[in-house]
Structure 1
Amino acid sequence: MKDINILSLDLEFNQPSESIIQIGAVVGNLSTGDILEELQIEINAKETLAPFIIKLTGISQDEVDNGETLLEGYNKLKDMFIRHDCFRNCLTWGGGDSQLLRSQLDLDDEMFLFGRRWIDAKTLFVSHCFANDIKHQSGLAKSLTRVGLAFKGSKHNAKDDALNTFIIYRRLLGALHNNYQDVRTGYIK
């Protein structure tokens, strides 16, 4: 597997506004699987949290009210990304987190550190399920169990979701790597 660092990103947001209330990220090395750094930042969205979101995430109104600005959080994320010389595009579970961050920061693709694309671990998982006739509809925690792993931490905690996204992505990359010769020869099991 390639010796490269990748930033796995997850966001938690309020409803119905979709204002970001928590940024979670880990930097992991794809070759070793080592987690080099973790980051969790509560963001002051300057709005009242929906009761459903408080229950789902465990994030309190007080934590958000005392949180950092979105720009401060993004700058910490950028610093971590640069410090570890990460691959340009971040890793996410499903699409949209990096684009939502870019949109709420009002940055164009030239100014946004992660560019226009992201690596979607969920799409890779769904492709794995199709290839192996496995049920594909599931969230992150259930998807981990379907590939023989267990969720670490708390669901809907941005840092823990980012960590688990990195873990499942690395497992799926390992499966691709192990079947590389089969793909090159056209042999399908």
Structure 2
Amino acid sequence: MYQEQNYFSLDLELNNAQDNSTVNPKIIQIGLAVGNYHDYVNQSLSTYKWFLDPKEPIFEFITQLTGICNQDISDYAVPHEQAAKEIGEIITKRNCFVNPITWGGGDSLELKSEFKDRGITFPHFGRRWIDVKTWYSLHMLAMGKKPSGGLSSGLGSFKLQFEGSPHRADVDALNTLRLFFEILHRHNRIYQLVNDAKALK
């Protein structure tokens, strides 16, 4: 049953200029949310976060957006090797589906790239990801609506409230996974209705 499968969602916070002009912005926070559909229903999804040191000052814009400041990096940043090891252990122990759940694409590639640049072997992600933003866009287009808006809008379209403060990697990962499970459940119900209708013929 789809309710039993564990998944993990991934989100990153980057040290980027307000005009998005920074070339290859460094990761300053990794967020992970893990669990299955039953965990979602029971509000018991697990979340994790890691701070990484970009070896440069945090943009003031990023501090205002995410709440992450230079002191946080100084106090809480862990080596990339530690983050890679702990992430791998979490998704392996929970036997998660191989591809991460994301809001938009690219986070898993950026994370693996930073690990690779430091000579860290990280074999735990698949080559693809499940992009909930694309699912949301398809959902809105199918209803004849504009597929605009961010994660909060996506949740709202399914009558869900955003939980926590946005632009924190662990919080965004949690809300992404919540939306994923809601969409997955609704699609399952639709397929059941179609199969039931066919059975009536």
Query: TM (normalized to structure 1)?
Result: 0.89
Distance 1:82 1:36, change over 3 A: farther
* Alpha-carbon shift at residue 132 of structure 1 (Å): 1.7
In structure 2, the partner of 1:106 is: 116
Q: Deviations over 1:77-128 (max 9, x none)?
A: 11111111111111111100001001111179x9431021111111111111
**Which residue number corresponds to residue 83 of structure 1?**
93
Matched, 1:177 2:184: no
Matched AA of 1:62? Q
Deviation of residue 70 (structure 1)? 2.2
The secondary structure found in structure 1 opposite 2:49 is strand
Q: Judging changes above 3 Å, is the alpha-carbon distance between structure 1 residues 183 and 98 closer, same or farther for their aligned structure 2 residues? A: farther
- Structure 1 window deviating more from structure 2 (69-78 vs 94-103): it is 69-78
On the 8 A contact 1:46/1:65 being kept in 2, the answer is no
Distance 1:76 1:157 in 2: 19
Alignment check: 8 A CA contact 2:12 2:28 kept? yes
The residue identity in structure 2 corresponding to 1:21 is I
**Aligned residue in 1 for 2:176:** 165
Q: Larger C-alpha radius of gyration, 1 or 2? A: 2
Is residue 24–residue 159 contact of structure 1 (8 Å, CA) maintained in 2? yes
Aligned length: 185
* Alpha-carbon distance in structure 2 between the residues aligned to 1:175 and 1:128: 11
Task: Please say which of residues 128-137 and 110-119 is displaced more in the overlay.
Answer: 110-119
Please tell me whether residue 56 in structure 1 is matched to residue 65 in structure 2. yes
Residue 168 of structure 2 aligns with an amino acid whose one-letter code is N
Q: Mind listing any 5+ residue stretches in structure 2 that lack a counterpart?
A: 17-21
Q: How does 1:4-43 map to 2 (within 5 A)?
A: 4-15=5-16, 16=22, 17-33=24-40, 34=42, 35-43=44-52
* 2:36 partner amino acid: N
Moved over 6 A (4+): none
Q: Which runs of 5+ in 1 are unaligned?
A: none
Instruction: Give the CA deviation at 1:65.
Output: 2.6
Q: CA RMSD in A?
A: 2.1
Q: Which amino acid aligns with 2:104?
A: G
Aligned counterparts of 2:122 and 2:79: Cα–Cα separation in 1: 18
Which has the larger displacement, 110-119 or 169-178?
110-119
Instruction: Compare the two structures and name the one with the higher helix fraction.
Output: 2
Q: Which moved more, 1:80-89 or 1:69-78?
A: 69-78
TM-score, length-normalised on structure 2?
Answer: 0.84
Percentage of identical aligned residues: 36
1:142 — aligned with what? 153
User: Deviations along 1:27-86, whole A, 9 cap, x unmatched?
Assistant: 110355254422011111111111111110000111113311222212111111111111
